[in-house]
Structure 1
Amino acid sequence: MADHSHGSPENAVTVAKPGQGGVQKFQDPGLPPHRPRLADTDPRAEKRAERQVGVLFLISIFGTLLFFFGYFFIPLDETIGTLRLQNLLLGLGTAFAMLGIGVGIVHWAKTLMPDHEVAEDRHEIRPEKDRADAEKIIGDILEESGIKRRPLIRNTLLGAGILAIFPAIAIFRDLGPLPGDVLRETMWDEGVRLTRDPSGTPIKASDVTIGSAFHVIPEGLNEAEHKLEEKAKAVVLLMRLNPESLNPSPGREDWGYEGIVAYSKICTHVGCPVALYEQQTHHLLCPCHQSTFDLTQECKVIFGPAARPLPQLPISVDEEGYLVATSDFQEPVGPSYWERG
C-alpha cells in the first residue's frame, strides 16, 4: 500500500499551524502601467477627437432647434398629417438634443480627458483644509478636462447645454395656468344634445342598447373656437344597463334615463381617457394605471390609484327622443388637485 502520510494535514506545508509565526502579507502590486491613447501621442488625432466632440454638441444644438421648429412653427390644424409631422420633429429633435450631449461627453471623456488611475489615502476631516482641497480638486478637474484650452468643445457644450433646457421649460409652460375653476365648467348645459365622437351626430335613446357604449361629445363642440381644450374637459362615456342594476344615491334618481347613464371619460387619477367598458361586470377601466370604476355604484373606485368616482353627467331626452344634458357636471372633472374642494 502506498504511503500517503506526506500529504496529511499534519505534514502539508500550505497549512499554517499555531506557533509557526505570522502569515506573510501580499505585496501591493501597484497600479497597472498606463497605455497611452492615440490622442495622447498624436496631435492630429487629438484635434480630430476635439472636432468630433464639437460636432456631437452641434448635433445637440440642431436637435433642440428642430424641436423648437416643430413645437412653435408647425400649425395645429388637427389633420393627421400635420400631427404626425409635428410628433416626428419633436421626437427627432429631442433624440438628437439628448444623444448629442450624451455621446459627446462620453467621447470627450474616452479620448481627451486623462485616463490614468489614481490612488489616494484617506485623511482626517479638517473643514478649512478640506475646502482648500476641494478647490484644488475642482481646479485640477477643469485643467485635466481641457475645457479651458479647448474653446470649440467649451463653446459648443455651453450652447448645447443652455438650449437643451428650453424645451423642458416650453413643455411645462404649455401645461397652462393653475386649474382654478377651469375644470368646473364645460360645454355641457341644460338642453345640450349628446353627440357621437368625432362625427357630432346626435344620439337617440333608442340607439343605445343594453351593453353598448358610446364615446360622446356635446353638440357644437366641433365648431368651437378652442375645440381640443373643450373636448379634453367635456368628453363622456354613455352606456345602457338594466335599470335594476343601477343603485343611484338619493337625489340622483333622475340623472339617467331608462338605464342610460353618462360619466366623464377623464380618469380622476391623472386624467387619462377611460375607454374600456367590461359589459359583463359593468366596470370601466383606465388603461394607464388600471383604475377600475363600478358603473352600478355611480362609478365608485374599486381598484387602482384613483381617489374619486368619475363625475356623472345628468341626462334626459327631448321631445324628439334625443339624449340631452340637464345641466353641467356637478363637480370638477379630471384628477384631484390642490385647489379642488
Structure 2
Amino acid sequence: MAEQGNGESGAAVTGGEGGSESSAVDNPGLPPHRPRLADVDEKAAKRNERQVSVLFLISIIGTILSFIGYFVVGQTEGNLGDLRLQNTLLGVGTALAMLGIGLGVVHWAKTLMPDHEIVEDRKPLRTEEDRAEAEQIVTEVIDETQIKRRPLLRNTLIAAALIAPLPAVVMFRDLDRSDDFGPERMRHTLWDEGVRLVRDPTGTPIRASDLTIGSAMHVIPENLPEISSHGERIAEKAKAVVLLMRMNPDDFEHTSPGRENWTHEGIIAASKVCTHVGCPVALYERHTHHLLCPCHQSTFDAAREFKVIFGPAGRPLPQLPITVDAEGFLVARSDFTEPVGPTYWERGEA
C-alpha cells in the first residue's frame, strides 16, 4: 500500500504527458516600451543636456579647487588654519571632480541615451561579416550616446576628463620638492653617536630601567625638534622612527660579528620603516619576538637581527646600535649602518 501511494503521489506531481503539455507557459515577450519625456520632447532633452553639462562643469570646478588648495593655500610654515583650509579644498575639490563626472555620465545614460530593450540571437562567427557587424555596433553605440548631436555634452565631458587626473599627477610628482631628492637621502638619518633615544611624541629621555622584558615603545632622536622647517622635520622623523624593545638576553639566537655591542642588557632597537614599501612596522609580539608590518604582513624576527621570516619584504629591518650614556639614558652609538626604508635598485651598499 505504501508503494502504491507513492506512485499516485508522483503521478500527481508530474501530471503525465498530458499534464506536462498543459503546464507550458507561452513567452510573454518584452513589455511595451514607454518613452521618456526626453524621447518625445526636445525641450526636455535640451534641459537634461544642460543638467549633464552642469555636472561636468562642477567636476571642472572641483579640479580647480584642488589646484588652488595645493598651490595657493597652506604654504605658510606652521599655520594650522592654512593647513586645515588646504585639506578641505583638496578633499572637497577631489570629491567634486570625481562625483561630477560620475553623476553626469549616469544622468546622461538615464535621460538621453536610448533605453529600449532588444533580444539578439547569437550568430555563428564569420570573419568578414563579424568585422562588419562589430563596426556597425560601434557606430550604433556612438549614435546612441548622441555625442555627435550634442557637442556641449561632448566638449564638457572631454574637458572634465582631461583635467580631473591632473591634481593627483602633480601631487605624486611633487611629494618632495627638495633639490637633493634621491637615493642618497635615505642613507643617513638624524641618529648619530651620543644622540639620546626619546619617547614619541613627548620627547622624554629613556633609561634602561624604564623598559621591562617584553615591553616596547616608539622612539625618535632627541635632536628632531631642532629642525625649524615643519616639512623637513616630518621628513626626517619618517626616516628616523625606531621601535625599542627589551628581551631576555638569552633569547637572542644570532649575533653577527661586529654587532656584539649593538644592544644593552637585552634592549634592542630597529627602524620602524618596512623594507617592502615603507609602511610603519609597529606590531610586536613579545612571546615570539616577531615584528609585523600591517600593510602586507611582512614579519621580522627580533631574536635573529630582524631577519624576514614571512612576507614580501626583501631584507631585514636596519638595526640601530645603542648603549647608555654617563647618566644612564639610552643613546645611539651611530647612525644606521645601511639605508632605511624599502629596497630599491640604486640602494647599493652604505
TM over 0.5: yes
Conserved in 2, the CA contact under 8 Å of 1:271 and 1:335? yes
Q: Distance in 2 between matches of 1:113 and 1:140?
A: 11
Q: Distance in 1 between matches of 2:80 and 2:218?
A: 20
Identical-pair percentage: 63
Matched, 1:67 2:66: yes
2:54 maps to 55
Conserved in 1, the CA contact under 8 Å of 2:52 and 2:104? yes
The structure 1 segments of at least 4 consecutive aligned residues displaced by more than 6 Å after TM superposition are 7-11, 26-30
1:215 maps to 218
Conserved in 1, the CA contact under 8 Å of 2:199 and 2:205? yes
- Residue 138 and residue 11 in structure 1: after superposition, are their counterparts in 2 closer, same or farther (change >3 A)? closer
Which runs of structure 2 are paired with 1:127-206 in the superposition (5 Å)?
Answer: 127=128, 134-175=134-175, 180-206=183-209
- Residue 83 and residue 261 in structure 1: after superposition, are their counterparts in 2 closer, same or farther (change >3 A)? farther
- Which stretch shifts more, 217-226 or 35-44? 217-226
SS at match of 2:274: coil
Q: Distance in 2 between matches of 1:73 and 1:322?
A: 45
Shift of 1:330: 1.8
Q: Distance in 2 between matches of 1:79 and 1:267?
A: 31
**Unpaired segments of 5 or more residues in structure 2?**
1-7
- Residue 292 and residue 87 in structure 1: after superposition, are their counterparts in 2 closer, same or farther (change >3 A)? farther
Shift of 1:233: 1.0
Q: Distance in 1 between matches of 2:115 and 2:206?
A: 71
The normalised TM-score by structure 1 is: 0.81
Shift of 1:175: 4.6
Q: Distance in 2 between matches of 1:190 and 1:102?
A: 56
Q: Distance in 1 between matches of 2:172 and 2:116?
A: 42
2:241 maps to 235
- Residue 245 and residue 81 in structure 1: after superposition, are their counterparts in 2 closer, same or farther (change >3 A)? farther
Q: Distance in 1 between matches of 2:193 and 2:15?
A: 101
Conserved in 1, the CA contact under 8 Å of 2:56 and 2:100? yes
Conserved in 1, the CA contact under 8 Å of 2:74 and 2:85? no
2:307 maps to 300
1:312 maps to 319
Q: Distance in 1 between matches of 2:190 and 2:332?
A: 10
**Unpaired segments of 5 or more residues in structure 1?**
17-25
2:88 maps to 88
**Residue among 334, 338, 346 paired with 1:339:** 346
Q: Distance in 2 between matches of 1:257 and 1:15?
A: 87
Shift of 1:82: 5.1
Shift of 1:79: 6.5
Q: Deviations over 1:51-80 (max 9, x none)?
A: 211121122112222222333333264666
RMSD of aligned Cα (Å): 3.2
Q: Which amino acid aligns with 1:162?
A: L
1:117 maps to 117
- Residue 268 and residue 166 in structure 1: after superposition, are their counterparts in 2 closer, same or farther (change >3 A)? same
How many residues of Structure 1 are paired with residues of Structure 2 in the alignment?
327
Q: Distance in 2 between matches of 1:10 and 1:314?
A: 87
Shift of 1:162: 0.8
Q: Which amino acid aligns with 1:180?
A: P
1:41 maps to 40
Which runs of structure 2 are paired with 1:3-14 in the superposition (5 Å)?
Answer: 12-13=17-18
Q: Deviations over 1:302-326 (max 9, x none)?
A: 3444333211011122333332222
Q: Distance in 1 between matches of 2:16 and 2:157?
A: 68
